[in-house]
Structure 1
């Protein structure tokens, strides 16, 4: 019965699993980038993230089909790009993955804002949404530097394209507002994306996170008074 109880608990918190895998990816990406089969492993990891994203947005048939229409082609293109080492396929895959992550983040925000109750899964969803937005913009940065070479520079190897981990690091820095990244956007298109992410980060904290904190505090206050 213990495993059954564990399964029920896991099904109640799909956002927690998505958050866990996303954070695990932060630790795995440097390893994947430094190995010969790293890109293939990156594609396989994308399949796992896709499955979890579909699980999270599976709240209506329309959302599920739309997510499938974005996610399945992106994974197929990622695997083909890893096999053929084709940058065009990588760019198309990252474009679709960016759209999928934005869509999943939007679905989670709608889920968190749909009522005035704060469940434990919604708290996990707050963290998962943050990572989804960070990944979505990182993929958008990747597409940007493919379409506009030299969009981003850094102190190390400034003439080379930025790696995926560098772009993800930049995305987390912008979204959190800490401003600790050494990656600099130098072209207009890249700077436009950076400004959009800075705006998204501020609005996410102001609208979503502050609301969850307020509702949680109100609920705790009502329990104490009751």
Structure 2
């Protein structure tokens, strides 16, 4: 019961934990026969948690649900009917969902001048949502135009979700680009936008929350 109450009190932490667990688990699955199916199931779980999270923010749950429903349908078609040619459409919709959820969390963090514990967790959850959103844009680009991204290993193979997710986190955090690089103009354009979004998020949102936290501590 105590754990359930903590989940209700800090849903942002639960969302971030689910995403991080998905990132850690999927590398063990993506080379297996049921890897795509397993990851699609993980994706559906994240969609459910993110939709529930939006209900606590200024965002509209019906909007996130309206985006999530087609994604779940497209994921289901890939799971049960092997219709993997739907991947670009699913990736675009899923990116849109994560961006809307991230925007809702940013509005939640910016609506007052106090940094609560859940808002600090929301800062981390928003970062992972943005990173996953851009990851799915990269997946869409790679599906439409194979070879849009290069890597130091498996040069001739299509880039995996894990590789593109790694690139997304590297770009969003401005820590570098790693061994996965965009090659085409469209891939580089999206990568450039992600770098800008990452800088704006860290300087405008995270810095603001840290400032409120320090201010609150100094007034005690």
TM-score range, shorter chain: over 0.9
Q: Does 1:56 align with 2:18?
A: no
Q: Does 1:189 align with 2:186?
A: yes
User: Distance in 1 between the 2:170 and 2:6 partners?
Assistant: 33
Trace 1:4-15 onto structure 2 (pairs within 5 A). Answer: 5-15=2-12
**1:57/1:108 contact within 8 Å kept:** yes
User: Distance in 2 between the 1:50 and 1:81 partners?
Assistant: 16
1:43 alignment partner, SS class:
helix
Match in the other structure for 2:114: 117
Match in the other structure for 1:77: 74
**2:15/2:125 contact within 8 Å kept:** yes
The total of aligned residue pairs comes to 220
* TM-score, with structure 2 as normaliser: 0.95
Deviates more, 1:6-15 or 1:140-149: 6-15
Question: How far did 1:85 drift?
Answer: 2.8
Q: Does 1:159 align with 2:156?
A: yes
Match in the other structure for 2:200: 203
1:33 alignment partner, SS class:
coil
Find 2:29's aligned residue among 23, 28, 32: 32
Q: Which has the larger radius of gyration?
A: 1
Question: How far did 1:70 drift?
Answer: 0.9
Structure 2 residues not aligned, in runs of 5+: none
Deviates more, 1:25-34 or 1:149-158: 149-158
User: Distance in 2 between the 1:31 and 1:73 partners?
Assistant: 27
Find 1:23's aligned residue among 16, 20, 23: 20
**1:98/1:136 contact within 8 Å kept:** yes
* Runs of 4+ displaced beyond 2 Å: 5-9, 59-62, 82-88, 157-160
Structure 1 residues not aligned, in runs of 5+: none
* TM-score, with structure 1 as normaliser: 0.93
User: Distance in 1 between the 2:31 and 2:183 partners?
Assistant: 27
Q: Does 1:102 align with 2:99?
A: yes
Deviates more, 1:38-47 or 1:76-85: 76-85
1:153 alignment partner, SS class:
strand
CA deviation profile, 1:5-25 (whole Å, cap 9, x unmatched): 443332111101001101101
**2:67/2:97 contact within 8 Å kept:** yes
**1:40/1:79 contact within 8 Å kept:** no
CA deviation profile, 1:77-119 (whole Å, cap 9, x unmatched): 1121133333321221111111000000000000000000111
